[in-house]
């Protein structure tokens, strides 16, 4: 069965705050300089990023939905910028370093919650630096180095406001891992290396960035899952299954666009070339995998209440973990529904313009 004809076993939901959040989001993008009012905004909206967020985060409204929508829109710009970057690998690494630097000054965000030091491992406490003690590479850039970096600083401050230091460190690591994976995928495409299927699958799990989207669910929803729960084998397994479902569905949805662009990291193309399958056979194989992933995820999700009991979570901690599990189901279902309607993955005349051209210069480079 075609994966896009196989709806996940979770109900369709969409945030009632979509229209208001869309207006906020386009105004925010124009305010940062990533968009210009008029044709630029119209071109951006063809990607249907606001709809993607409203479908994937149906419980959110107000400022929480705004934060996630702005963050996902920023990710879309960065993804297109990296994917079409004309320079060599060292210029991509420099781009990675520029936006990584925004997250280096993580002790100074106004409103950041300060946890007692005993909650932070001793070796990590010793590594914390005040702004004046940081090296230049650790400081967030102070100059105005373009709309994308300006937007990035705003998102980072909003996402981490009120969060505990351990949570900030974790989400920073996840942002950096996504950035590194995006650079690695693009580098492999430029070099024309036939991707190893196992290595490609591992890289796709990183570049699809599901842990980062779950962090956004916590930030937008105003909750934090305790570390023993989020680090448990069950939640790790659910995150892996969520990642595999989303990446497989995305690869089918974007197949024609990626094939036309000569991209290599697509599961359908890997099955065709690596196992000698026809196009229909490869798509059917992906559909069978997605169906199996759905079943495995649903079975794992049913074990979450038992995990709450095993970890002796209090009522608030239990509610937070259940919301985290619900966020995964919403990402799975929302991604499926959005993939069926967006023009972001279309090829030819119906395709949405790559966001690195809307406007043409977003990175702060000459």
Question: What domains does the chain contain, in order, with CATH numbers?
Answer: 3-8+16-353 (1.10.600.10)
| Cβ atoms of 21 and 66 closer than 8 Å | yes
| Cβ atoms of 288 and 233 closer than 8 Å | no
**84 vs 241: CA distance, rounded Å:** 29
- Pick the more confident residue, 161 or 124: 161
**Phi (first) and psi of residue 329, to 5 degrees:** -60, -35
Q: Based on C-alpha coordinates, what's the Rg of the chain?
A: 20
Note the pLDDT of residue 351.
54
What spatial distance separates the first Cα and last Cα of the chain, rounded to whole Å?
47
Burial class (CB in 10 A: 0-12, 13-18, 19+), 64: buried
315-356 confidence digits (pLDDT tens): 999 999 999 999 999 999 999 999 999 988 876 545 555 555
Average pLDDT, integer, range 51-77: 96
Note the pLDDT of residue 213.
98
> Is omega for the bond preceding 359 within 30 degrees of 0, making it cis?
yes
Least Cα distance to 87 among 187, 184, 177, 180 occurs for 187
Least confident of 128-132, 223-227, 277-281: 128-132
18-50 confidence digits (pLDDT tens): 999 999 999 999 999 988 888 778 888 988 999
In the chain, the largest separation of any two C-alpha atoms, in whole Å, equals: 60
In this predicted structure, the answer to whether residue 261 has a pLDDT above a threshold of 50 is: yes
**Whole-number mean pLDDT of the chain?**
82
| Cβ atoms of 68 and 347 closer than 8 Å | no
Q: What is the pTM of this model?
A: 0.85
Burial class (CB in 10 A: 0-12, 13-18, 19+), 220: buried
Note the pLDDT of residue 136.
37
**203 vs 189: CA distance, rounded Å:** 13
Note the pLDDT of residue 65.
98
**238 vs 363: CA distance, rounded Å:** 35
CB crowding 8-42: b at 16 or more within 10 Å, else e = bebeebbbebbeebbebbbebbbebbbbeeeebee
84-142 confidence digits (pLDDT tens): 655 555 556 666 676 677 677 544 444 555 444 334 343 332 333 333 333 333 344 44
Least Cα distance to 97 among 138, 67, 49 occurs for 138
CA distances from 124 to 53, 119, 127, 128 (A): 34, 10, 5, 7
The length of the chain, given as a count of residues: 366
């Amino acid at each position: 069965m075609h994966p896009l004809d196989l709806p996940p076993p979770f109900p369709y939901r969409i945030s009632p705050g979509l229209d208001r959040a869309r207006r906020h989001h386009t105004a925010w993008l124009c305010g940062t300089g990533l968009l210009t009012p008029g044709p630029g905004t119209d071109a951006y909206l063809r990607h249907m990023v606001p709809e993607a967020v409203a479908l994937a985060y149906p419980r959110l409204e107000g400022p929480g939905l705004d934060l996630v929508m702005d963050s996902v829109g920023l990710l879309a710009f960065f993804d297109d910028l990296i994917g079409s970057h004309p320079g060599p690998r060292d210029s991509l690494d420099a781009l990675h370093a520029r936006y990584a630097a925004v997250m280096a000054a993580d002790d100074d965000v106004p409103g950041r919650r300060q946890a007692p030091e005993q909650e932070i491992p001793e070796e990590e406490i010793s590594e914390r630096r005040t702004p004046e003690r940081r090296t230049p590479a650790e400081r967030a850039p102070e100059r105005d180095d373009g709309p994308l970096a300006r937007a990035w600083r705003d998102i980072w401050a909003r996402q981490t406001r009120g969060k505990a230091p351990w949570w900030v460190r974790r989400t920073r690591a996840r942002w950096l891992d996504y950035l590194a994976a995006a650079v690695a995928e693009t580098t492999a495409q430029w070099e024309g290396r036939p991707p190893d299927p196992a290595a490609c699958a591992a890289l796709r799990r990183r570049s699809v960035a599901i842990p980062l989207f779950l962090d956004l669910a916590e930030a937008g929803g105003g909750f934090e899952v305790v570390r023993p729960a989020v680090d448990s084998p069950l939640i790790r397994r659910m995150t892996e299954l969520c990642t595999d479902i989303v990446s497989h569905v995305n690869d089918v949805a974007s197949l024609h666009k990626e094939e036309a662009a000569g991209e290599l990291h697509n599961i359908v193309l890997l099955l065709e070339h690596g196992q000698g399958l026809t196009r229909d056979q490869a798509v059917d194989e992906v559909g069978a995998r997605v169906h199996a992933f759905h079943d495995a995820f649903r079975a794992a999700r049913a074990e979450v209440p038992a995990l709450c009991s095993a970890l002796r979570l209090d009522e608030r901690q239990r509610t937070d973990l259940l919301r985290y599990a619900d966020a995964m189901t919403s990402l799975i279902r929302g991604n499926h529904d959005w993939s069926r309607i967006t023009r972001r993955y279309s090829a030819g005349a119906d395709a949405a313009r790559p966001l690195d051209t809307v406007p043409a210069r977003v990175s702060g480079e000459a």
